[in-house]
Chain A
Amino acid sequence: MPNMELQLGLALPTPNMIKGFDLNNHRLDHLKQRGCFSNKSKRSFEQAFGNFKQDGKTKTLLLWSGQPNEEEDHKDQKKTTFSTIDDNDDEEVEQVVGWPPIKTWRKKIFNQPNGVGGIENNRVADKENGRSIYVKVKMEGVAITRKVDIRLYLSYQTLSNSLITMFSKDKKCGDDDSTRYILTYQDKEGDWLIAGDIPWQSFMRCVQRLKIIRNRD
């Protein structure tokens, strides 16, 4: 899956990332890898813990080095637990184990569309079970990034309407009603395209992120 390599570009890919796995152990493995080898980790460490006075803390705040726990693998075939890691967004801070303090169980409700792991639960096209697909939506000039569940919409029109409502309170003063916006999206290959060219169903399956930009024509 080309997608994997792009997103994990700054970290060593681990075989564990590809199949479904239990949040408990394999998340730790991923953090171990990133913590030890990624340049990114340093920057975000300072970002997160810049206030720390003690120097010796670096090691203790990031994960200890150790061996991934292999014996968990065979249990995962039958388990219907899902993975919830969204670790391909370069706007996110380096994650510390167990922070923020949310129960493992609760984290499982966030099923990412570009989910790490080919777990069956990522049933994008299957309406029966109604799994949500969350994509981030950013509007040019607005600080807050929102998230929408693509599965709630039946067409580009309903999606646009909802986005207009969502962002109408965020419009900057400089803009007036004549300002036009374009909805763009990032597909599975990482390319940014203008929304509307492909059938809605196909769009739902490949959209990773949305961005609303001002039309400069």
Chain B
Amino acid sequence: MHKKMAFSFPDEVLEHVFSFIQSDKDRNSVSMVCKSWYEIERYCRRKVFVGNCYAVSPRMVIRRFPEFRSIELKGKPHFADFNLVPDGWGGYVFPWIAEMAGALPWLEEIKLKRMVVTDESLELIAKSFKNFKVLVLSSCEGFSTDGLAAIAATCKNLKELDLRDCEGDDLGWHWLSYFPDTYTSLVSLNISCLGSDEVSFSALERLVGRCTNLRTLRLNRAVPLDKIANILRHAPQLVEFGTGSYTADLRPDIYSDLAGAFSSCKELKSLSGFWDVVPAYLPAIYPVCSKLTSLNLSYATLQSSDLIKLVSHCPNLQRLLVLDYIEDSGLEALASICNDLQELRVFPSDPFGVEPNVSLTEQGLVAVSSGCPKLQSVLYFCRQMSNEALVTIAKNRPNFTRFRLCIIEPTTADYLTLEPLDVGFGAIVQYCKDLQRLSLSGLLTDRVFEYIGTYAKKLEMLSIAFAGDGDLGLHHVLSGCESLRKLEIRDCPFGDKALLANAEKLETMRSLWMSSCAVSFGACKLLGQKMPRLNVEVIDERGPPDSRPESCPVDKLYIYRTLVGPRFDMPPFVWTMEDDPSLQQLSRANLM
């Protein structure tokens, strides 16, 4: 019988085949082929990705994938980065650690983003996983260096400790001395977000010295420049390095020490740090510049001329993060020198000033889009834009996958024509057919959303602020963007109609955030009742929404799909709209 052939491969063979399939999407597809593939796949899945920690419970994940070794979890919505999510909203990792502690003693990797990580959680990780290797905390908060000390002291096989943009209590550097003298397996250490001034370098130097496999080391602002040379000499094999404070009195001995140390690092490909940079010390890195593929100067307050000089030594740059001090002239130079550039981020040096403090305009972006054929990811803060420029940019670079433009003053029109920037952004979505991520700004009407709904078929994440005329705008997006997973909106006149008309769409997305819009409490309740597989969270620090009329708009709304219903760890200013009790029975049954 032909049917038998499908099952004639022993499980081990299929497992072996599946082991070559790494991406989650592909793994998910594999698991849907047939029941036996589902079963085989779930036992051999080693990496689990949970994009929203409240979409599913740890127990469910463990039940389905009993043998995973690596987990990536994300907590708060993206707008939490900009203080739009009040403290205490949620995203606690402890319950996950607690569940995994018992069930997965061989867990090796934990990667967390925008979650609350307490010292207790860190201590539990250290205690529970004997072969723990990788801890990446990105934009997390809630821990102190005491928790890090627990990890250092206990995790003998730790390879990676990466703290990016975290907010914690830095109580000093002594946690580093908790790494035992016998510990040598560190490959990657990123402590750039710590900041205590109580520095003790001997522990750091000894650690760096004995970990001969160290490839990535990102220091923080508290490490002075005259300590860098010594550290680099202990680790000439470094591939990625982040300096501390790049300033010192101008002394020839410090300079030559530093230059010598950098010269001996033949493998360096990525540099970052450069806080408080003094231009006179920059040439010390010239020996390594020609090999650099990634350069993060986003904390470096250098003038345009110094930036141009530096960049001209780095023709192989693929990734550049820089402040807008680079100005249009610097970006023009960049465009002519760095032909391999793939990612550019230009941050504002004076975000809250009204007058421009630097000569950076849309021209810089036009230049880069023209001169860098491989450019696909852009984050650009500026103060003026025109439709003409955006159209040019779109035509120059149809290969954009990420385009995030922030015109600093909200609702700024095209400075040449005073029209909205609908046409410009419309060109971006029309020409850049593979666009996955888009952030809008400037003066925008519903028209731009019509363009987006029509053309942005691969768009997965969209950020909107101070834009649109009414519900039609939101409707275009929800009904037209087939690949949309994350939508975040603030200060737009979008109300109930579009949301309710596209309720089903919300189940196909990870999440929707709307703050300072016009969605009424009544609509939220209705949505919550009708869609049991969505959590409709109303976040309102003014007090309970039912103390106001139903037509009153809610302050903030966070809607996400979930298999596990309302969460139980909500603070007093968050309400989850109740499911319709009759529907509730149905949805619970579906979970079994």
Give the interface of A toward B (CB within 8 A). 22-25, 27-28, 48-54, 56-57, 60-61, 64-66, 69, 72, 75, 78-81, 86, 89, 91-93, 95-107, 109-110, 120, 127-132, 134, 136, 143-147, 149, 151-152, 166
| Complex CA–CA separation, A27 to B84 (angstroms) | 12
| Complex CA–CA separation, A107 to B381 (angstroms) | 14
- CB–CB A97/B84 < 8 A: yes
Contact of B541 among A23, A54, A64, A131 (CB under 8 A): A64
- CB–CB A98/B82 < 8 A: yes
| Complex CA–CA separation, A157 to B193 (angstroms) | 36
Of B37-45, B48-56, B118-126, B349-357, the one with at least 4 CB within 8 A of chain A = B349-357
- CB–CB A132/B170 < 8 A: no
- Size category, B interface: 35 or more
Contact of B358 among A49, A66, A144 (CB under 8 A): A144
12 contacts between A and B (CB under 8 A): A49-B410, A49-B466, A52-B411, A54-B493, A93-B409, A97-B82, A100-B406, A101-B465, A143-B356, A145-B355, A147-B350, A149-B276
- CB–CB B443/A100 < 8 A: no
> Is B247's CB within 8 Å of the partner chain A?
yes
Q: Looking at chain B's contact residues, is the secondary structure mostly helix, strand, loop, or mixed?
A: loop
| Complex CA–CA separation, A50 to B249 (angstroms) | 49
- CB–CB A75/B169 < 8 A: yes
CB-based closest 9 A-B pairs? A98-B82, A130-B247, A60-B516, A80-B195, A105-B165, A130-B276, A51-B411, A66-B541, A98-B84
| Complex CA–CA separation, A52 to B493 (angstroms) | 9
Contacts of A120 in B (CB 8 A): 197
> Is B582's CB within 8 Å of the partner chain A?
no
B219-256: CB near A (< 8 Å → 1, else 0) gives 00010100000000000000000000101110000000
> Is B129's CB within 8 Å of the partner chain A?
no
Contacts of A56 in B (CB 8 A): 518
| Complex CA–CA separation, A80 to B222 (angstroms) | 11
Nearest-neighbour CB distance to chain B for A202, whole angstroms, equals: 19
Chain B residues numbered 278-325 whose CB sits less than 8 Å from any CB in chain A:
278-279, 298-299, 301, 303
| Complex CA–CA separation, A166 to B359 (angstroms) | 12
- CB–CB B169/A61 < 8 A: no
**CB nearest neighbor in A for B381:** A100
- CB–CB B224/A96 < 8 A: no
Contacts of A51 in B (CB 8 A): 411, 413, 443
**CB nearest neighbor in A for B83:** A98
Contacts of A151 in B (CB 8 A): 247, 276
> Is B24's CB within 8 Å of the partner chain A?
no
Chain B residues numbered 393-414 whose CB sits less than 8 Å from any CB in chain A:
406, 408-411, 413
